[in-house]
Chain A
Amino acid sequence: MKRLPLNLTLGVSLVGMVVLAAAVSYVWLPHDPNRMDFGAQFAAPGTAYLLGTDHFGRDLLSRLLVGARSTLLVSFVAVGISLGLGGALGALAGWVGGWFDEAMMRLVDVLYAFPAILMALLLAAVFRPGILTAMAAIGLATAPVFARLTRASVLSLRGREYVEAGRALGASEARLLATHVLPGATSPIVVQASLSMAIAVLAEAALSFLGLGAPPDVPSWGNMLREAQGFMALSPYPALVPGFAIVVTVLGWSLLGDGLRDRLDPTTSR
């Protein structure tokens, strides 16, 4: 048994911290995240408010904990969409082949031209900005990677002898794809899912900073940063605290992805 790689351990710990923060926010918060304390605006971190307060005197720690919810919710759903859509497209394209494959891959190429923010601009113009358009935008924009990965795995596995053997024994095409081919594509997809989570967290924060994500009254990290920008001369803490949280979360997912790759794929050892 090999020792766990350092990046995997670190990644799991950081991601675990964020998940824990979101979970804790449902059962316990130091203060009501929306309660304004006008006697304690722009408080520095201290005993009353552990991480300080914002321009309305709202507790930054409580808002940070609640903010972890929308970060995780949006990025999980987005990566789910991305994996489901991209994976299905890629698997079908690789399995069916021919003109269908060609057409699907052209479609995927077009998605590459619309990164999350661009997709969000388009969707927000049409459906009004919000958490749903943010999820859909990030999910659609990050789907091509999964399509490419799944297609590549399916292409390399579909001609193998054990697949032919399954076919000779009378297994249906759907069964062959589901039980013989797709399991072989799991490792790269799991690695990519973790790396995509890092991208999704960054995108969610960016979108809510731009006002294209969580509604303004919801304490998401991006919203907190946008509100903090106007008051940075009065107190740096409202602008510092959510930023650190984003960095920790993104770093956690990307270390986790790297660690998983080192562990699952013996061919890369750098």
Chain B
Amino acid sequence: MAAFFVKRLLTALVSIVLASAVVFAAVLAIPGDPAAIILGVTASPDALSALRTQLGLDVPAPQRYLQWLAGLVRGDLGTSLQYERAVRALVADRVPLSVALAVGAALLATLLAVPVGVFTALRRGTLLDPLVVLASQVGAAVPSFWLGLLLILVFSVELRLLPAGGFPGWEAGALAAWRALLLPVLALGLGQAAVMVRMTRAALLDVLGQDYVRTARAKGLGATSVVWKHALRNAMVTLVTILGLSLTNVFIGSIIIEQVFALPGLGRLALSAIGNRDFPLVQGVVLLYASTIVLLSFLVDLSYGWLDPRIRYA
């Protein structure tokens, strides 16, 4: 298991370093002088050269990349141009909201999709099965941000039960915070649940068709025992993949949902940075998202080794 762990960890680290190179290279690709683009045509030569120094443009690119990378290792993501604060501090302020949104949505999706998926797989051949499949296909076609608008329309505009957007802050208390997050979590989680229902169903059908499940049934085990002990346990590897995938999906999806509900999270931070051409901030936030995706897939890989010993030794 140790060798497996080290190998996967190295692969993940290489991916993160490569991702950082992509993020760094993107800014190199800016046509023209970034300092002039940021400050505009009216900027004085002094201001320009000061900004160039601040951005490190007076240093050759490869050296600048290494400096930036060394900073990243120390947790230094640079300084935001628009806020004139450390990117790390800006990001840290907004991480809890984005994480709460994504984790809430992933939890909702899992709690909804896994039972429904298992239940439908067991009802194969009945009318329920194609109906659920169709419903999940339609659900997966609904954009989360449109679902968000529909939820606002019903629960905020018509029924006036829940806020249409904004966030009172965690200091306003858990109840007020989750009241503000309820619709966003629903908007993000329901669509993801639709995607996951089909995958769960397919994973379970795969396992249910195998010989050892037939054997378990033949020797007279009850349906509950066959499904929960034999089938689901072996469908776990696929289920964990699905869960990892959906965590990635909701984490990225939260960027749009934050915009719909005016939630001050990481996604909104990145969007405002684009409007203000705040390159260090964009780089920092994008790299954070990309690294999270790499880490999630690393964790999924690790859980494979844990769930299925055959993978560990392969």
Contacts and interface: CB of A to CB of B under 8 A. Distances in A.
Secondary structure type dominating chain B contacts:
helix
B141 interface: yes
Contact of A117 (B137, B252, B277): B252
B138 A125 contact: no
B15 A250 contact: no
Interface string B272-309: 01100101001001100111011001000000000000
Which range holds the interface residue count of chain B? 35 or more
Nearest to A116: B252
A111 B296 CA distance: 15
Given A110-B22, A113-B294, A206-B256, A225 B289 contact: no
B143 A118 contact: no
Contacts of B23: 122
B140 A254 contact: yes
Contact of B273 (A113, A125, A250): A125
B26 A113 contact: no
Secondary structure type dominating chain A contacts:
helix
B30 interface: yes
A117 B273 contact: no
B141 A243 contact: no
A125 B140 contact: no
Contacts of B297: 112
B150 to A, nearest CB: 7
B259 A113 contact: no
B153 A232 contact: yes
Nearest to A109: B15
A126 interface: yes
Interface residues of A, number: 43
A69 B27 CA distance: 31
B143 A205 contact: yes
A111 B273 CA distance: 23
Interface string B90-119: 000000000000000000000000000000
Contacts of A93: none
Contact of B137 (A125, A232, A233, A251): A251
Contacts of B237: none
Nearest to A251: B141
12 contacts: A110-B15, A110-B18, A113-B293, A113-B294, A114-B290, A117-B256, A121-B285, A122-B286, A127-B30, A129-B274, A202-B143, A243-B142
4 closest pairs, A vs B, by CB? A250-B141, A243-B146, A251-B141, A125-B282
Interface of B: 11, 14-16, 18-19, 22-23, 26-27, 29-31, 137-138, 140-143, 145-146, 149-150, 152-153, 157, 202, 205, 248, 252, 255-256, 259-260, 270-271, 273-274, 277, 279, 282, 285-286, 289-291, 293-294, 297
